[in-house]
Amino acid sequence: MWEESESRASALRAELAALRESVQQGATERLMMDTHNTQLKDTLARSESSQAELSIMITKLRSEESTLRDSLAKMSSINESLAQDKAQLNSVIAQLEEERGGLLSRQREAELEKLTIRDELVRSEQDRLELDSARLALHQSLQEMELARAGLETELQTAQADRVKLQDRITQLIGQVSGLEAELASLRGEGERQSAALEEVGQGRAELVRERAGLLVQLTASERENASLTEELAAFRTEREALETSLFELQQQINLMESQREQQESENQSLRLRTDTITGELKRLRAEREQVVCEMEKQKEALKDALSAVQQEAQRAQRTALSDHQEELQRLANQKEALRCSLEAEHQGALRRLQEHQEEQRSRLQEERDRLQEELRCLQRDCDQRLLQAETDKQQALSVKDLEAAVLSEKLSTLQAELSTAAVELEKLNRETAAFKDQERVHNR
């Protein structure tokens, strides 16, 4: 019987080891999911860096626009040549508008890429939910096994209650039952450790879900940043329209100055001097404008190169991420199917072995209960006989005690009489002593 219990315990330990291996495989899958999340985070970081570069570009354009606005403020006192400068500035603004249109199209492409990545994340989350449901089914089957084992433990506890009544007389049977209890306790400990491992896997899945939610929040924040960039571009367009309005007002002022110059022909000498001064200032401003236009062209080329590099890097990262994600999804689907098949087979085998073990335990416990009841009846008869013998011995002992009590009572009466006699003699001796002391005092006087 002990060897059979050990063999059953070994089989259960083997099953627990197989289940522990499946839990370790789940932990490995979790590590692979973490790696995939890291790759997605890197892709998101690259997208955020490209958005930061776009923000820097818009800041540079704003600074360039501010420079142009300063130049227009300086040119408010110049005559008809401002019209040509206005035409050139309009052409530059048109080029900037074209560049902004290109930037907006790239932003829309980036948003489409983000939507594609989000769809991939949703599909990956669905696959994980399917894996979690499979593990939940396995956990439920394990709970059913634990309930069946609890039924066996209840029956064993009933048998143990019977053994407790006979514990002082049948020590050999108690030793066997204690061995079985230790074996069941070890099996229960293995089941509890397995449940703890499954709970850790569930917690790991919950952490992965939270990380996915964090990534979705980051994507939403990125979309909000893109919307803010679009609003800034709209504000930039509004400022450009305001500049055109100011240029028109300046043109009107120039026309007014021209009419005033015609009305002041009498001051030709002073006007010639002012004209020479204005001509020198105009040459200087034209030289500054040409320098600003050259710098803007260089910056525009640099921006085009940077945008092209960023776009190529984003496309390459997107292709790499999508390819890796597809491979990961296929591998996870294959692993999920294999894990499901193996878990179903292990579950069926474990249930079958558990049912056989339960039947064996029930039959063995029934036989042991019958044998214990027979021994209990024998012990009850023996106990009744011993109780009768003990009652007889007790009556005899009480008779002996009564005799001894009578003898002691007589001795006590004798001692009390002797004590009374001694007390009388002591009183007499005390009186004689007192009289003798009185005589001595009288004699001494």
Q: Which residue has the tokens 């009744």?
A: 384
Whether this model's pTM surpasses 0.85 = no
Specify the pLDDT at position 147: 74
The low-confidence residues of the chain, meaning pLDDT below 50, are 1, 170, 173, 177
pLDDT for res 115? 74
CA-derived radius of gyration, the chain: 54
Per-residue model confidence (pLDDT) at position 362: 72
Residue-level pLDDT at 38: 73
168's CB contacts (< 8 A; 6+ apart) are: none
What per-residue string of b and e applies to 406-437 under the rule 16 or more CB within 10 Å gives b? eeeeeeeeeeeeeeeeeeeeeeeeeeeeeeee
Cβ density class 315-352: b for 16+ within 10 Å, e for less: eebbeebeeebeebeeebeebbeebbeebeebbeebee
**CA dihedral sign, ordered 231, 236, 240, 242:** positive
Task: Give the Cα separation of 140 and 20 in Å (integer).
Answer: 16
Q: What is the pLDDT of residue 392?
A: 76
The two structure tokens encoding residue 131:
């894996």
Among 147, 106, 78, 199, CA closest to 351? 147
What is the pLDDT at residue 177? 47
* Contact assessment for residue 33 and residue 128, using Cβ atoms and an 8 Å cutoff: yes
